[in-house]
Structure 1
Amino acid sequence: MKSRLLTVVLGVGLVSWLLPGPASASQGQVTEACGVVAGSVTSGGDHRQQYFSATVPPTRILDHVLQYQAFPAGQTRLSGSMVADPNAAGPDVSGHLVIGSVMYSTAYAANWWEPETGPVRLTRVGGGWGDFTAFDEALYVPTTGRGRTSAYGLRSDGVLFRWTIAPSGVWQGKTSYPGFAAVKAFAIISETATYDTLLATTRGGALYTIHIPTSTPMHPVVKLVRRTTWQVFESLMVAACGQYGVLLLGVDKNTHSGYLYAVGHATGLSTVIQPRGKLPVSFDDPTYHGWAAPGSPLFGE
């Protein structure tokens, strides 16, 4: 998606929103223009999105169902960041998600004016995903040259896996690294030509960056960002905000609450994190995911 702008209907008139928010922050100081889109799959299988502006407190500007009954009700366990390529009627949505214990690629054409009822196209990638607890994708698409898509999955025994997804859709180059059993959730905050970075919460409350060079075998470099209080979040979503920073949306599924943070360029314990406040809605959907913007890679570390 070369342009970040999509135009959607909201009540009367048109509202422009971004995937992700516009550049206006560098070290955790954001303006009200930045925003993050929370994607989700409802218990009934609807594919939904909500857009939150980083005001203080945060404001929900959009709540919209892209596709009714897009996926089997009550069966979607995990989803990576989705892509929405704009067209005249609405975005062409694509991505990967785990339904039951099987990973699928999905694609469908959404319509802003009259959301349709599924099913959408689901292509089986492979089984064996029943023990995975977290998943996300890094999409590095430079303005010139060759891009890449890397998929990261965390198994319940603490082994972190990486695959490269070829343009044909084939998953290849599998590599892994143990030692991440304490990780509860993660999201991509950097996508570059030579490395990706995950921002991860742990069950003990810490917040870490996991810097992963693109070389094989995989050798992650872990750096502590915060020591305590982050264990409440089971889902993380990220959007760019400024040249070096990101907005981070954390969802506490136990209390159905969401909190928004502006995170400056990650530098370990010196990383600036600015709370923007609790989001004014209940987060009741079982599965949440972020949205990727190929052509505008994240650069949070």
Structure 2
Amino acid sequence: MKTLTSKRASAVAAAAALLGGLATATMTTAPAAANTTAAAGACTMSVGSITAAGDIANTGVTASSPIKSTRGAGPHLFAPGLAKIASTWTTTIGVAGEDTTYGEVVVNGTLYYGEYGHDSTGKPTSSLKSEGVGYQGYKAIESSFYWGKTVRGADYRLRGDGVLYRFANKQVTRYPGYSAVKTMTLISETQTYDTFLAVTNGGALYTIHIPTGTAAPTVKKVRTSTWQNFDFLVAEKCGTQSTLLTAIDKDSGSAYLYAVGHANGAATVIQGLGKVPGTFKDPVYYLHTAEGTPSLFGE
């Protein structure tokens, strides 16, 4: 198991070279509620998905009033019905105008690194590379990537029995005890920790704060109930320290948008923005983002 996907690993050097020329973003000291409310109106996100037919799709969601959404079709990459879960997929633009979108996906128990896009002539390109077998029943896979004062990354895999694995710096760390987690999404990737927002089978909402060192994760309850119908959470940065969250109930085909303040346990401000237009019944959902987007900072 490699520590970072190929594209993100190559981006480490590029990001490090850019650091000297980039000003550090100023973090607001305003209350989380004010920051979330002010930022939410301008925030957007791209909710990626894999259809039952094995096609890529993307739904752009804008936190306007009313909420706007636009669905776009992508290439056919997988055999029908075999894709199970996916990490964030990231789009990068090359110097010759080529574009590549890359990420990881579990297909029928095998973990793949995938790419699709266009070469410099506009010709479509795509590839899938196996990264290992034995992923039947896994609940989540994700990769964090922080670039700021330093550059670092980690890969996470949540096994069906509740064991959470972190792969970082050629080391594997095993965290048991997460069998109650139904789904989770990355909301922070900083120099010293990563944070996931997780829904349990019973409908509670938690943050899982994972230090980059040897300390154990810290779990905080954010809400006690009412989230049990959601099968997927998709999160994107909103403002400087908040999160735009799309919560998807694929059984009903419904998605709801939330503005989440900087996470602080039960004191976290969550503003329901309303139902997202459209039908959300695809088997797999994930964040689709762009390379160079500032790292998540939702906690």
Normalising by the residue count of structure 1, what TM-score does the alignment of the two structures yield? 0.82
Q: Which runs of 4+ in 1 moved over 2 A?
A: 25-28, 86-91, 113-116, 291-295
Native 8 Å contact 1:211 1:222 kept in 2: yes
CA deviations 1:3-61 (Å, max 9, x no partner) are 9xxxxxxxxxxxxxxxxxxx9x953213432111100111111111110100233111x
Pair 1:57-2:66 in alignment = yes
Work out the percentage of aligned pairs sharing the same amino acid.
39
* Structure 1: gaps of 5 or more residues: 4-22, 167-171
CA deviations 1:72-118 (Å, max 9, x no partner) are 2211111000111135767310111111101011122248x9895x7
Quote how far apart the aligned CAs of 1:154 are.
1.2
For residue 70 of structure 1, the aligned residue among 65, 77, 98 is 77
More helix by share: 2
Native 8 Å contact 2:32 2:269 kept in 1: no
**1:162 paired residue number:** 166
Distance 1:200 1:115, change over 3 A: farther
Pair 1:264-2:231 in alignment = no
Pair 1:104-2:117 in alignment = no
* Alignment: residue pair count: 268
**1:285 paired residue number:** 282
Q: Distance in 2 between matches of 1:298 and 1:191?
A: 5
- Helix, strand or coil: the match of 1:72? coil
The 5 A counterparts of 1:179-190 are: 179-190=177-188
Q: Distance in 2 between matches of 1:261 and 1:90?
A: 34
**1:80 paired residue number:** 87
Quote how far apart the aligned CAs of 1:189 are.
0.3
- Helix, strand or coil: the match of 1:290? strand
Native 8 Å contact 1:98 1:104 kept in 2: yes
**2:52 paired residue number:** 43
Distance 1:275 1:155, change over 3 A: same
Q: Distance in 2 between matches of 1:210 and 1:279?
A: 26
Q: Distance in 2 between matches of 1:135 and 1:26?
A: 29
**1:129 paired residue number:** 135
Q: Distance in 2 between matches of 1:101 and 1:228?
A: 31
- Helix, strand or coil: the match of 1:50? strand
Quote how far apart the aligned CAs of 1:207 are.
0.4
Pair 1:140-2:146 in alignment = yes
Quote how far apart the aligned CAs of 1:150 are.
1.3
Distance 1:258 1:109, change over 3 A: same
Distance 1:89 1:26, change over 3 A: farther
Pair 1:250-2:247 in alignment = yes
For residue 177 of structure 1, the aligned residue among 175, 178, 199 is 175
For residue 92 of structure 1, the aligned residue among 87, 100, 103 is 100
Native 8 Å contact 1:26 1:242 kept in 2: no
Q: Distance in 1 between matches of 2:137 and 2:244?
A: 29
The amino acid that maps onto 1:105 is Y
Distance 1:103 1:124, change over 3 A: same
Q: State the Cα RMSD in Å.
A: 2.5
Quote how far apart the aligned CAs of 1:241 are.
0.6
